Amino acid sequence: MNPAPLDARGLGKRFRRDWGLRDCTLTIPHGAVVGLVGPNAAGKSTLLSLAAGLLAPSEGSIAVLGRDPLRDPAVLADVGYVAQSAPLYRSFTIADTIEFSRRTNSRWDEEIVFDVLTSMSPETKVGSLSAGERSRLALALALGKRPQLVLLDEPFARLDPLAGREFLQLLMDGVAETGATVVIASHVVADVERVCDHIVLLTDGGVRLEGNVEELLESHRILMGPRRPLGSIRGVSSIVRERHGDRQLTLLVRSHGPIADPSWRVERVGLEELLLAYMAPERLPTPMPPEKVPLRWHG
């Protein structure tokens, strides 16, 4: 068994006084397309920088393809990392930039690069590219390494929706060939929702939710019913979010079995809604009281 593409154990990074990331433990499975989501300053960039060997952990450890990216930076040959806002040399032409990557990587697949770049003129200066073209160039270079792990930090931040969609398509075509694992950091859930099959949700520097998308959707339900005091509900392990209407109560719950109580209307939840519910900083999920305790009615 190959080592996991990305494996963090109690990983933490402190910037001066504040923790950018704390107690982060996660394992990303092979071939997954991971949406690394969370609000701004949740630690997404920090996690990717740690994975790219650009930061040193303050505590815990991180392994990329089984290797420490800081102590053993040669592992970066197998990692395609695109930093936030895709920094490239502005004075270089596209051709220069490709040449730079070709010369600084032992494995280099020019074909993939040109597949992604298609019609862009090689003599154009990087400084004069639009945000979309620049992101595309950076993606092409990352894929040209034929990496086993692709790390993209907020690739959609400066793209219009159409360019974002196109970018995702290029990315998915590119990795379809190599079977690389992809981690896409984004603060906009909708951007990654369509492609990712694994979610890591970070809030305030910690992992809030992590798992396979299907499993997450399967284990969460929306319950709707008349207003009532909350007690334990059979089949529900915790309430992620509760909304009180005039008469109606809407719950987003984590369930561990079918919800039998017929007074609840049970619905599946969408990924975006689920993630937004977990992201909402106002309250943490309430663990349900043990089910055997009889319901107590007030008023």
Site for another protein, rule CB under 8 A: 49, 52-56, 70, 73-74, 76-77, 79, 81, 83, 85, 87-90, 92, 96, 99-101, 103-107, 138, 145
Which among 241, 223, 220, 244 is positioned nearest to 233, based on CA atoms?
A: 223
Query: Please, which residue, 107 or 268, has the CB nearer to another protein?
Result: 107
Secondary structure class of 49 (helix, strand, coil): helix
Distance in Å, CB of 290 to another protein, minimum? 46
Distance in Å, CB of 199 to another protein, minimum? 24
Position 120: which residue type? M
Which among 8, 75, 3 is positioned nearest to 48, based on CA atoms?
A: 8
Query: Please, which residue, 46 or 186, has the CB nearer to another protein?
Result: 46
Is-contact 259 236, C-beta < 8 A? yes
Q: What is the CA radius of gyration of the chain?
A: 22
Distance in Å, CB of 126 to another protein, minimum? 10
Distance in Å, CB of 93 to another protein, minimum? 10
Distance in Å, CB of 74 to another protein, minimum? 6
Query: Please, which residue, 175 or 277, has the CB nearer to another protein?
Result: 175
Q: Which residue has the tokens 């997404």?
A: 44
Q: CB neighbours of 45 closer than 8 A, spacing ≥ 6?
A: 84, 153, 154, 185
Secondary structure class of 167 (helix, strand, coil): helix
Query: Please, which residue, 101 or 203, has the CB nearer to another protein?
Result: 101
Is-contact 189 203, C-beta < 8 A? no
Distance in Å, CB of 79 to another protein, minimum? 7
CA geometry: angle at 4 spanning 18 and 55, to 5°?
30
Query: Please, which residue, 38 or 80, has the CB nearer to another protein?
Result: 80
Which among 227, 187, 82 is positioned nearest to 143, based on CA atoms?
A: 82
Query: Please, which residue, 79 or 269, has the CB nearer to another protein?
Result: 79
